[in-house]
Amino acid sequence: MNTVVLTIIIFGILILVHELGHFILAKATGIRVEEFAIGMGPKLLGIKHGETDYSLRLLPIGGYNKMSGMESEQENDEKGFNKKTVLQRMMVISAGSLMNFLLAIVLFVLVFSFIGVPANSNIIGDTIAGFPAEQAGLQEGDQLTAIDGEPVNDWVELTQIIQNNPERPLTITINRDNELSEVTITPQKDPETGLGLIGIRDSLMTYDVWSGLKLGAERAVSILVLIVSSLVQIITGQAPAEVAGPVGIVQMIGEVAQYGIGTVFNFAALLSLNLGLINLLPIPALDGSRLVFLAIEGVRGKPISPERENFVHLIGFTLLILLMILITYQDIIRIFN
C-alpha cells in the first residue's frame, strides 16, 4: 500500500478515536455537540443527524467537536459545555486521550491474539524475496538447527551469528520434514548498519484473547512509563530531544510497513499512546492546558475569563505550529543527509 495513503489511514483512525472519546462523553453528560468533524479546512462531506452535523474536511491533519457553550455568545445554552460541573467537563476533555490509550490496547491485543508475535524460535516464518535465503531455497517452516556446526536454539542466537558475519559464507544445517541437509549462504551486508542479512523472518505465535488482553495492557502501560521517563530526561537535559514530525513519521510508517501488518499495528499503537499522552501535557492549545484551567476553576470557585483562556490557547497554538514547521524542516534535512 502507498505510504502516504497508509499514513492518512493511520492518523485518520487515531484522530477519529480521539475525537470520538470527547463526543461520547459530551453526549453522555448532556452537552450539545453542534459538529463532529474529522479533518480541518473546507468541508468535503457532511450529514445532519439530530442536533449534530457530522463532517469530513479536506485536510487530514486533525479533527474537532464543536460544543455549545464553549463560545461567549453561547453562555446561556442550558446544554452548553460551560453549564456542566468542573468534573464533568474534565471528563469530557480527558476522554480523547483515554480513548487513544484504549485503542493502543486493542491494537496490541489484535497482534498478540490474532496476528501473532515473534516466537523467538529457530524456525523460519517466511523469506524475503531477492535475499540470499530465498535464493538458496530456504522455505517457511524450515528449522535452522546449526551454523558452521554450532547448534542454534532460538531466533536471537540465530540472527546474532548471521548479523556478525556479513559477506562470509556460512554453512547452515536445515531440518525440513525431519530430514537434515546443509546449505551454504553468504549474508549480504546492510549498507546502513553494516550487519549481515539473509532475508528471513521469525515464525509467529498467538495467545488466547484473555492472555492477549493482559499482555496488551501490560505493553501499553510499560510504553507509557517509557515515554514519560524519556520526556523527563529530555526536559532535564539528560537526553537529547529527538523528535519526529509529520515527514519523519511518514518515513517510519513506510519502513515498518515492509515488515508486515503486525509491525504496522504495533507502530500505530505506539503513535496512539504518544498522541494520548502528549495531549494531556499542560501545553496551551492542548487538552492538558484545558484541564489545568478547569482545575484552577475548581479551586477558586469561578472560571478564568474566556478571553484570557482563549488568548493563552492562541499563543500556544501559534508556538506549536512554529515548532511543527521546525521539526518538519529537521526531518527533511535528516532524510536528505
Which residues have a catalytic role annotated?
19
Q: Which residues partner with 185 through β-bridges?
A: 170
Place of cell 531477492: 130
Q: Which residues partner with 174 through β-bridges?
A: 144, 181
Reference 116, options 333, 265, 302; nearest CA is 265
**Cβ atoms of 225 and 217 closer than 8 Å:** no
For the chain, give percent helix, strand, coil, nearest 5: 55, 20, 25
Question: What residues contact residue 279 under an 8 Å CB cut-off, 6+ apart?
Answer: 18, 96, 97, 100, 286, 287, 288
Provide the edge-to-edge strand list for the sheet that holds 179-185. Answer: 150-151, 143-147, 170-176, 179-185
For 38, phi then psi, to 5°, come to -110, 125
